[in-house]
């Protein structure tokens, strides 16, 4: 058994975090999103993996190489143009010579789901069974590709049916096991109304040819990480399962409650208070007198100064959070510098959910507490304040004393407006 992971997309809903990297290379729980699926496949005994890449593919290739450092063999198939799922899978055909699993790189799934998929195919395999679709039960079928199924055999796939026309509440989860015949169906697949080659159309071709496609209704946990605040949700989930691992130095006078991962050559200085689970990568310098609250993830080469408080946040490689700053429920990109006294607010005055602008539209995050989203290379001056849900683009400079209440485009320079009303104070006669 082999595997294909689809990781060619841009991830525009994740901007500004994906301006310099594919979405699947965003960090959660101390690792890139896609690494979790590679590890799950390896645990299931699948070590020949093809990554279908496109946007910023060099970032993925530089990190994973040939896969040997991760105990697998990785090939790369470059998808020229984003022309749909069938087109992406077809671009990897040269590396596939047996049945294979297909995963989306931004949907994190468990080893158990992969194992169940393989077992379903193995126990029901016959000359006419050509694949297995993972299905999930949904409340609103009109938002999904819905299947009709008889005795575990899929009879029809309907893309986003009207509520009164849905044959079931079983939705295609986008996790597949295919035989080689799927490539023949892909070659017959025509462009859809959306201008893409849809894998569901390829599957329908197989069904029309009287091939059998099985459905696996799964209740295993999986996460779809598509928007910036969902990184925080997945980060918390992974840190909950993290095992304590101390490889760096903890000075005297540090208090640690809960699980802590402390990477090589990292130091936590005296007076710090750590409430786990907390992840600290390699070559980090924390404190003194810093407070790290649950679900804090500091990646590699992060410096956190004196009397800083960080809560439920992801701080990426090479970023400095200087003294007397507060970072709450935020995602901060690589090589940022937060000047002393920078405060990233995470709670509205009215206690309502925090809205975020995604692809030009205001979206309810569903979260009462959500801080800021910084791209790479953002620098803030001393005493900068950023309101909840604000996004700041790559390479932007925020001058001292600014209050940021709306999104800032990349490579912007923001200055505070200062109005001085100077009045003469007359000395009163005794």
Q: Catalytic amino acids?
A: 323
Q: Which helix (H) or strand (E) holds 58?
A: helix 57-64
CA distances to 46, 105, 425 from 67, in Å:
12, 16, 73
Residue 149 β-bridge partners: 154
Give the whole-angstrom CA distance, residue 139 versus residue 213: 24
Q: Which helix (H) or strand (E) holds 111?
A: helix 111-123
Cβ–Cβ < 8 Å for 6, 52: yes
Which residues touch 430 (CB under 8 Å, ≥6 apart)?
A: none
Give the whole-angstrom CA distance, residue 141 versus residue 167: 9
Exposed (0-12), middle (13-18) or buried (19+): which is 236, by Cβ within 10 Å? middle
Give the whole-angstrom CA distance, residue 113 versus residue 107: 12
Give the whole-angstrom CA distance, residue 371 versus residue 128: 53
Show the DSSP H helices in 165-319 as ranges: 182-188, 199-208, 228-240
Give the whole-angstrom CA distance, residue 21 versus residue 275: 31
């Amino acid at each position: 058994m082999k595997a294909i992971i689809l990781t060619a997309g841009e991830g525009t809903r994740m901007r500004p975090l994906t301006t310099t990297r594919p979405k699947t290379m965003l960090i959660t729980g101390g690792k890139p999103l896609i690494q979790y699926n590679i590890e799950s496949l390896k645990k299931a005994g699948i070590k020949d993996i093809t990554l279908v890449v496109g946007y910023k593919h060099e970032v993925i290739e530089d990190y994973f190489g040939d896969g040997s450092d991760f105990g697998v063999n990785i090939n790369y198939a470059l998808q020229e143009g984003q022309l749909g799922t069938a087109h992406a899978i077809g671009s990897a055909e040269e590396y596939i010579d047996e049945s294979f699993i297909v995963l989306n790189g931004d949907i994190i799934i468990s080893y158990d789901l992969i194992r169940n998929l393989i077992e379903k195919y193995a126990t029901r395999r016959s000359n006419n069974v050509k694949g297995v679709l993972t299905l999930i039960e949904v409340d609103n079928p009109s938002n999904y590709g819905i299947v009709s199924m008889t005795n575990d055999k899929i009879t029809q796939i309907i893309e986003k049916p009207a509520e009164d026309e849905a044959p079931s509440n079983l939705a295609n989860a986008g996790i597949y096991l295919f035989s080689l015949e799927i490539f023949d169906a892909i070659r017959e697949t025509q462009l859809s109304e959306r201008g893409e080659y849809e894998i569901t159309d390829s599957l329908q071709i197989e069904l029309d040819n009287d091939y059998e496609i099985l459905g696996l209704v799964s209740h295993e946990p999986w996460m779809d990480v598509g928007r910036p605040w969902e990184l925080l949700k997945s980060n918390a989930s992974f840190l909950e399962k993290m095992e304590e691992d101390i490889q760096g130095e903890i000075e005297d006078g540090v208090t640690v409650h809960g699980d802590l991962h402390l990477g090589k050559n990292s130091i936590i200085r005296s007076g710090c208070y750590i409430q786990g689970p907390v992840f600290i990568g390699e070559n980090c310098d924390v404190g003194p007198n810093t407070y790290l609250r649950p679900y804090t993830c500091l990646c590699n080469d992060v410096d956190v100064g004196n009397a800083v408080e960080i809560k439920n946040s992801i701080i990426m490689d090479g970023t400095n959070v200087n003294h007397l700053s507060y970072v709450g429920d935020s995602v901060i990109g690589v090589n940022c510098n937060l000047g002393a006294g920078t405060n990233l607010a995470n709670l509205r005055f009215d206690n309502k959910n925090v809205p975020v602008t995604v692809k030009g539209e205001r979206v309810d995050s569903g979260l009462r507490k959500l801080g800021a989203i910084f791209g790479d290379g953002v620098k803030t001056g001393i005493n900068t304040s950023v309101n909840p849900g604000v996004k700041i683009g790559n390479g932007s400079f925020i001058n001292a004393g600014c209050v940021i209440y709306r999104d800032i485009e990349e490579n912007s320079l923001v200055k505070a407006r200062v109005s001085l009303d100077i009045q003469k104070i007359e000395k009163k006669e005794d």
